Amino acid sequence: MIDYDRILKECFWDLNISNNEIDEMINGSDFRSKAFLFEKLLLNSTKLLRDLQIFKRDDLKRLLENFKVPQFNYDYIFRRRNLVGVYFFNEPLLIDELKWIV
């Protein structure tokens, strides 16, 4: 279930986007729109892992692989991107303070 109100408030506070437009981004064939939604969620969502489940697994993998962490706010965005990769695709955890000490 998509929490449109929270997503709109957290991720699209600066734009006038409707629930239908979010659905079109998710289910449409325009990959740039999907990437736009993915980036908004990755950078702003307080329920990141839950919100990213709205994408089909193949789309999410492609979005994650194509996402380039920008220099601005690099550490924060890198951590969020890495957590998504670990959670959904069993990528290696690269955040030292979250690794188990052996």
Percent of the chain with pLDDT over 70: 100
Share of the chain above pLDDT 90, in %: 92
| Mutual angle of helices 4-11 and 31-44, in 10-degree steps | 80
Q: Is pLDDT at 63 greater than 80 in this prediction?
A: yes
pLDDT digits (tens, 9 = 90+) for 12-28: 999 999 999 999 999 99
Q: Could you report the per-residue pLDDT of 34-49, keeping only the tens digit for each?
A: 999 999 999 999 999 9
Overall size of the chain counted in residues: 102
Q: Which residues, 6 or more positions from 80, have their beta carbon under 8 angstroms from its beta carbon?
A: 42, 43, 48
